[in-house]
Structure 1
Amino acid sequence: MNITANEVAVQLIVISPNNAGQRLDNFLFTALKGVPKSRIYRIIRKGEVRVNKGRIKPEYKLAEGDQVRIPPVRVAQRDTPIIPSQSFQDSLEASILYEDDLLLVINKPSGLAVHGGSGISLGLIEALRATRSDKSYLELVHRIDRDTSGCLVVAKKRSALRFLQDEMRARRILKVYYALASGRWPRGRRRIDAPLLASEQKSGEKIVRVDSEGKSSVTVFSVVQRFDNATLMEATLETGRTHQIRVHAQYVGCSLAGDVKYGSDDYNDDARRLGLGRMFLHALKIQFFSPCGKKILIEAPIPPELSRYLQKLDH
C-alpha cells in the first residue's frame, strides 16, 4: 500500500469526555498519526499547539470542553484505507464473549496481531474500529502476543480504559492462561519469580530474557495434565511483562510447544508433524471489576486446533 504525505488545515478540537484526563502529547500522537514524535514536541514547544488559546506544556492533562488548536502538519496517510472483509468482520463479532456500555471482551484468534504496524497492515483493534464505525472510541486495555489466542479486553470509553489500566497496575485483574510446556514440568517449580529484561535487535525484533537488571516478573504455574513429553499448565500472571509466560517456561527448561522464538526447534518440528501449527498459549480466563462495580469473569473456550492436539498427545 503506497503512502502519501498530506497537509491538513488548522484543526480546532473540543475535548470530549472520552479524552478528558489524557496528556496533551498522548492526545496528539493519536490525532496526528504518522507524524514523528519529535515533530509533535517541536510544535508544542514553539506554541503552534494551543489549548484554550494559550501556550501549553506536553504533560498538561486535558479537561472536558478544552479547545485544542492543532496547526497544519504533514501526516502520512494511506491512499485507500484497508477495510476488513465482511466474513472477517462477521467472525470478529462472533468472537465477542462479553459486552456492555463500557467495554467488551473478545476471544482473539491466534495469528492476528492486536494492532497494526511493523509490516502488519491490519490488527484486531483497527478491524474492530472498521467493523464498528459508529463507535467513537475503542482502545485496547492490554495486549497479548500475535500467536496467542484468548481473552482480550477493549474499552469503549476513555474513563473505562483509565480505570481498568489502573486496576491492572494494582494487580487486581486475574489473568489465567493455558500453556503446553515441552517435557516434564519439574515438581516444586510452581511460582517463578525471575526479573525480565527486554531488548531490541538490529532487525527491530524484541527479545526478552531473565536478567537481574530486569523488571520484577512473577508467574504462578500449576499442572493440569502430564503427557509423555509435555505438560499442560495453567499459568496465572502476577505481573504482565512482554513474553512473560514464554520466557519463564524457558527459564525452567520447559519452553512452550510451538514457540519459535524461545522454544526448541527439534521439539517444535515433532509437534508440527503431530499437527500443532501454532504456539500453544491461550488466554483462558480473565476476572475483574468493571468501572460500575460489577464483577466480571470471562472464559474463552480452548480453540479446536489445541483441543485436537491434546487428544493426540493423550492417545
Structure 2
Amino acid sequence: MQPQVRYIDVAEADAGMRLDNFIRRQFKRVPRSRVYRVIRSGEVRVNRGRGRPSRRLVAGDQVRLPPLRTGDDTGRTAVRPPDAMIERAVAAIQSEAPDHLVIAKPADMPVHAGSGVDFGLIECLRAARPDEYLELAHRLDRGTSGAMLVARSRPTRHELAEALADARARKTYLALVDGIWPNDVTRVDQPLDRNGMVGGEPRVIVDPDNGKSATSVFTVVARSSNATLLEVGLLTGRKHQIRAHAAYFKCPIAGDRRYGDSKRAAAWRQWGLKRPFLHARDMAVPRQSGWLQTHVPLADDLAAVMQRLGLQWE
C-alpha cells in the first residue's frame, strides 16, 4: 500500500518544537537529508504555507506530511509493529465513541515512535485499524499510566486539542513523591522552561525569567514515614509539569531517575516500583456536545506499591 498524505495538528506538548525535528520524529526511518529536502521543496506545509526547518511550531498548527515511505529511498516500507504489542494496545482501549477512543495507557508503552523507539501506542492502533483515522489528542510520558484520548477524525482532533487547552478542562493525577510534602504547598504557580539544563543534562526546570506559566494543585491523600501520596490537578499542560514542580520542592516523584536521585530510585525498586509513580486518573474536558469525562483506576503495579506501604487511596 502506497503511503498517503497526512495532516497532523500540533499538540500543546509539542509547542515550541522546530519543524525539522517534528518531521524527523514522524519519519523516523527516513534519511535526514530527505527530510530536509521535502521541507525546503515545500512538500511539507504548515497551515497551508511553506515553513523553514527552524520554524517553531505552536499548538494548533496543521502540518502536512508528504507521502514519504517510512523506510529509506531504496523502497523499503514500514515494518509492522509486533502482533503482541498491537494486541496490548487494542486491549488498552477502555471505551470508544464514534469520534474518539479512551485509552488506559500501559506504563511501559510509549505513545508514539521516536527517540530510539520504533513503535508506540498510536502506530499499534493504526496497524490494528488501517482504514481508520486515528491521532493522539494529547500525550503522556512513556513511564506514566492512565487516561488518554485518541481522535477518530481530523475535526475531532482539532476540537479535543482546543478542549484540552480550555481553562475549564481538568486533568487529575495520582503521584507518590519521595519525601514529606509541605502542608502549606497547595497551588503551585511556577513557570517552566522545557529547555533547561541540570548537570549538563536537559531538564524542564522552574525559571521565572524564561519559563512559560504552569499551575499545579497538590492535595495530600496519604502519608508514610518517607513518602506522600498526592492528588495533582493540572491547570496547564506543560511538558513534565508535575515532575518538575515536585522536584522544585525537593520531593521528586518516587522512582523518577530523571528528576530525582538515582540511588533513591534504586531503593524504590526494592518496593516494586520500577518507574515514576505517576498515573493519569481523571480527565474532564468541555465539548460542544457536553463534558467528556474519563476515569482510569490506579494501575496494578502502583496499587501493589501502595499496599506494601500500607497507604489507602480512592
Cα RMSD, aligned residues only: 3.5
1:295 pairs with one of 274, 282, 291: 291
TM-score normalised over the length of structure 1: 0.77
User: For 1:164-183, what aligned pairs fall within 5 Å after superposition?
Assistant: 164-183=160-179
- The gaps in structure 1 that reach 5 residues or longer are 1-7, 60-67
Match of 1:131 in 2: 128
| Offset of residue 97 of structure 1 | 1.7
Residues 29, 307 of structure 1: CA spacing in aligned structure 2 closer, same or farther, 3 A cutoff? Answer: closer
Provide the rounded CA distance (Å) in 1 between the counterparts of 2:226 and 2:84: 39
The Cα of 1:173 is off from its aligned counterpart by 2.3
Displacement after TM superposition at 1:50 (Å): 12
Give 1:206 deviation, angstroms: 4.1
Shift of 1:267: 2.2
- Pair 103,276 (structure 1): closer, same or farther in 2 beyond 3 Å: same
Alignment correspondent of 2:255: 258
User: What do the CA deviations read for 1:37-60 (whole angstroms, capped 9, x no partner)?
Assistant: 54234222xxxx699xxxx8427x
Picking from 21, 35, 50, the partner of 1:58 is 50
Q: Compare CA radii of gyration and give the structure with the larger one.
A: 1
Q: Give the drift of 1:21.
A: 9.5
1:183-216 Cα offsets, whole Å, 9 max, x none, are 1110110011111111277xx9741111111111
Quick one: structure 1 residues 222 and 58, their matched pair in 2 at CA, closer, same or farther if it must change by over 3 Å? same
CA distance in 1, matches of 2:280, 2:296: 7
Aligned length: 278
Task: Flag structure 2 segments of 5+ consecutive residues without an equivalent.
Answer: 11-18, 52-63
4+ residue runs of structure 1 moved beyond 4 angstroms? 18-22, 70-75
Give the 3 Å change call, closer, same or farther, for CA 132–185 of structure 1 in structure 2.
same
Identity %: 36
Q: 2:145 aligns with which of 145, 149, 174?
A: 149
Q: How does 1:1-315 map to 2 (within 5 A)?
A: 33=27, 34=30, 38-44=36-42, 57-58=49-50, 76=72, 79=76, 81-135=78-132, 137-199=133-195, 206-212=202-208, 213-290=210-287, 293-314=289-310
Q: Is the 8 A contact 1:179 1:234 kept in 2?
A: yes
Shift in CA distance, 309/21, structure 1 to aligned 2, threshold 3 Å: closer
CA contact under 8 A between 1:103 and 1:156: conserved in structure 2? Answer: yes
Tell me whether 81-90 or 116-125 shows the greater mean CA deviation. 81-90
Q: TM-score, normalised by structure 2?
A: 0.77
